[in-house]
Each structure stands twice: as structure tokens, then as C-alpha cells.
A = this chain, B = another copy of it.
Amino acid sequence: MYAALTLFAQKGYASTSVADILQAAGVNAGSLYHFFPGKQDVLLAVLDAYLRGIHPMLLAPAWKGVADPVERVFALLERYREHLVTTECTYGCPIGSIALELHEPDPAVRALLAANFAGWVSAIEQCFIEAGDRLPDDVDRRALAIFALTTMEGGVMVSRTDRTTDAFDDAVRMLRDYVNRLQLAVR
């Protein structure tokens, strides 16, 4: 299962064959097909694992020692940057990759992808909500959270293509400047 999760993140869904999963997991075809009706059901399990792992596996490590809600947003983005660096900009967000890889996804798959995005956005939205009156009242907290997501996903996409963190860094720097200006506007 975690073999599949790793392989999907590295190679994508379509490029990962069932044989690849079997070899990485050290199991045989019969075993896998005993637990999963097919390959797509493995993907569903992986996407469900990501969804349930948002808080314990993603946010908790990123926010360790970071209490300020606004800093938490950028601490999370910093995690993705580190992920880019450690993989030499070969892969970033597995959800985003799979979301664009599958052009006609099964409704169940698409629902889990959307749920993963929604979970991420809600967590960041909560940060901006907790920022309270540090942000202007009329700023849509949820839209700002979605903006953070699109900045991360777009930054990962371009950085992966360029094999440099430059685009990611530029985008995050601009987002930081925007949030700073919003905070200055309220003073």
C-alpha cells in the first residue's frame, strides 16, 4: 500500500504498473487482487490515506514549533519547497500530479482528489481565520486559502518543469508580500 503510495508519487498513476507495485511491496498478484478489485481501487486507498494523513502526516510536522497562524501558512509552503529540493525538483505535490494526470477520472477518484484539496484549503483557511483582525475584515479567508493552494501547486508545476526552485520561490515571495500588505492595511 505504501509501496503504491510512493510509486504513484514518483512515477504517477498510469506509469506505475501493477507489476511495479507488486515488486516494491514484495507480494504477488494473487494477494493484491484478493484485497483490491483492481488497480484503481489501490489508487482510491492511496488517496484516502493522503486525505486522512493531512493533519498527522503533513500539517503536524510542518507546524511543529510554529504557533503564529500566518507563519503556519508559509511553514507549510516551506515543506513543499523542501520536498522539491530533496527530490531535485522532480516531484512536488502528489495530489496535484494525479489531478492533472487523469483527464477523465472516475467520479470516486475525482471526489477524493477534490476532498484532498478541500482539506488542505480548510486547514489554511482556519489559519487566516485565526489571524483575526490582523487581516482586513473584507478579505475572504477561504479565497485567500485557495490562493495559497494555487500558488503552491502552480509553483511546484513550473519548478518541476524548470528543475529549479526559482519559480516556486518567486510565487511564494509574492504571496508573502501580498499577505504582508494585507496586514499593513489593517493597522
Q: Complex Cα distance A15/B15, Å? A: 11
Interface SS of A by simple majority: helix
Q: Which residues of A contact B (CB under 8 A)?
A: 10-12, 14-15, 90-91, 96-97, 99-101, 103-104, 110, 113-114, 117, 139-140, 142-144, 146-147, 149-155, 157-158, 160-163, 167, 170-171, 173-175, 177-178, 181-182, 185
* Cβ-neighbour of A178 out of B101, B140, B174 (below 8 A): B174
Contact B144 A149 (CB under 8 A): no
Contacts of A103 in B (CB 8 A): 10-12, 15, 90-91, 97
Told that A151-B151, A178-B178 touch, could you supply 12 new A-B pairs with CB distance under 8 A?
A: A97-B103, A99-B160, A101-B101, A142-B170, A146-B158, A147-B171, A149-B154, A150-B171, A152-B154, A153-B153, A174-B178, A181-B181
